[in-house]
Chains A and B, each alone.
Chain A
């Protein structure tokens, strides 16, 4: 009896040690993601998810990263911060992912940030609010330009045109409201006076009341922060009321869909956006051009018109993977350090240069001022 027991235990342990020795090589790199694939912010999450899936497939076909395949674990939070928190916990505790690239909306991201801090896992957010990286949180990084930068870019262009008084009209969702807050805060710095401050609900179908009030002020331009149907309806209402003032939109409408919805009314509208939309109009010397054209071609071949939001996912994924490559492992602390050391990464949003004090890494230069002419994007010089 005893001898048999000892022999079985020995054989078992031998086999186990052999197996353990084999284990590490095939273990996949797990990228976790929670995105707003359905719901009001689906124009963010949907292209983001498609981009992630598309590129992970391509990279895996080429052999993966550091000899390991990449596995994407993703959940749809529908834009609800309560769900994002639960899904983030699920990613961290149940799926045990190595890096999180996600958080389509600012609300979802802000809700999850304390979590990733406690779990000590690197998190690259795809949302716009400046609060995500200011103050800098050790484990959280961000890809898109901030709403503050959008306001700054717009104000810069307004100054160039000699505009000093503007009317604000913003959506009452997170994006619209934080855009409005940043616009109010930065106005004085650029010598801009805000003479009207209206808002509308995300599902509202008519903004003529607000715009009528604006028409009767001495505003020289209108600035609309929002996304979805709102800005398209605002744009159409502006034309309907015969308001001839310059209309500025935010990067929330940086997609062909906006031009499609707003139709002829979109003519002459200006907005700040990542260069992805005007990739073919860039000079050949622009270092972003090849990256942008490649992404555009690949996405459009499979899914249709490209969107800047999908581009954020491209940037986030590649920065995360390059950091893993440089770190040589998926050790969370090392990967985080490498993400922070990202320098000169040419992405769709711009050229990223991160640092311990800057977890975004983009400058205003990467943001282009666009104007819609003949139903197409053009760059404002």
Chain B
């Protein structure tokens, strides 16, 4: 029994690490610009798909196509901010949600045209020989995912708390006008925030696709789960988002293993709803006060 649970936990943390990266991307964009970016899942998809496309057949070697794919995705994120979000500033919350939904559909359509409807695989970074921990097994790629995610999360944390640019982005979200008054180039900060989110998404895609495969519509479910994880952890709290992601992965895996594999997604959402009922701002969210 213990071995079983160990397996569930290992799997849950691997899946959760991906959710965490996507959730972190959501949190960053929300923190910077009050926008829920429903195209976040598409960043993950683009990172993976462009890497595969560039190294397909006689293409570039993998160590070149990976960073290039990340750069391409960052570019897409920046374009998204500049041409879809920035022009619509001042629009209501729901309007921007629809814009990002439109963006996610658009990106999916582009992926469909460029790469077709097939499913694609990526080679594992260091082979597929499973590692044994008791009776449970772990793929080496899972270690890449978990390690990579941890590294990125720490990096983001350091960026926001110990660098000028990071703090500047946080300042923009607190009070845009005040930020401008102290000389922060708000427009540039927005671009950096979106680029950073896209970077995280692309990294998540590259790290996890060897295990999960990818296709033009692989981003949808991920975006949804990432959003749920971000809410679970407390929307707007980056570390909360990460915690939410890992927690969601664990819940799904344990529910599949211990309760019912058919209803595991439902159980995940039920738990999310229960959390929200008792803590309406998520697990680690700051309680908001409304100014009247």
Indicate yes or no for A touching B, C-beta below 8 A. Answer: yes
Q: Using CB atoms and an 8 Å cutoff, list the residues of chain A in contact with chain B.
A: 37-40, 42-43, 46, 172, 198-201, 203, 205-206, 208-210, 212-213, 216, 228-229, 232-233, 236, 240-242, 257, 260-261, 263-264
A257 to B116, CA, bound (A): 14
User: Which of B90-98, B117-125, B191-199, B282-290 lies on the face that meets chain A?
Assistant: B117-125
Neighbour of B213 across the interface among A39, A208, A232, CB < 8 A: A232
Neighbour of A199 across the interface among B14, B119, B253, B262, CB < 8 A: B262
A216 to B7, CA, bound (A): 12
Residues of A within 8 A of B11 (CB): 206, 208-209
Residues of A within 8 A of B281 (CB): none
Cβ-defined contact, A206 with B211, below 8 A: yes
Give 20 new A-B contacts, CB below 8 A, not counting A46-B117, A263-B121.
A43-B119, A172-B262, A199-B262, A200-B261, A205-B15, A205-B211, A205-B212, A205-B213, A206-B11, A206-B14, A206-B211, A206-B253, A208-B137, A213-B257, A232-B213, A241-B7, A242-B137, A257-B119, A260-B121, A264-B128
Secondary structure of the B contact surface, majority rule: helix
A46 to B216, CA, bound (A): 14
B147 within 8 A of partner (CB): no
Q: Which residue of B lies closest to A41 (CB)?
A: B117
Q: Which residue of A lies closest to B220 (CB)?
A: A203
A210 to B256, CA, bound (A): 7
Question: How many A-B contacts if CB must be within 8 Å?
Answer: 86
B217 within 8 A of partner (CB): yes
Q: Using CB atoms and an 8 Å cutoff, list the residues of chain B in contact with chain A.
A: 3-4, 7-8, 11, 14-15, 18, 112, 117-119, 121, 128, 130, 136-137, 139, 208, 211-213, 215, 217-218, 220-221, 253-254, 256-257, 261-262, 264-265
A71 to B198, CA, bound (A): 45
* Distance (whole angstroms) from the CB of A93 to the closest CB of chain B: 29
Q: Which residue of B lies closest to A261 (CB)?
A: B121
Q: Which residue of B lies closest to A216 (CB)?
A: B4
Residues of A within 8 A of B253 (CB): 206, 209
Q: Which 3 A-B pairs have the closest CB atoms?
A: A205-B212, A42-B117, A209-B257
Cβ-defined contact, B139 with A240, below 8 A: yes
Neighbour of B8 across the interface among A38, A212, A228, A232, CB < 8 A: A212
Q: If A172-B262, A199-B261, A229-B213 touch, does A209 touch B256 (CB 8 Å cutoff)?
A: yes
A303 to B151, CA, bound (A): 43
Residues of A within 8 A of B139 (CB): 240
* Distance (whole angstroms) from the CB of B217 to the closest CB of chain A: 7
A241 to B11, CA, bound (A): 12
A263 to B127, CA, bound (A): 12
Cβ-defined contact, B130 with A242, below 8 A: yes
A216 to B3, CA, bound (A): 10
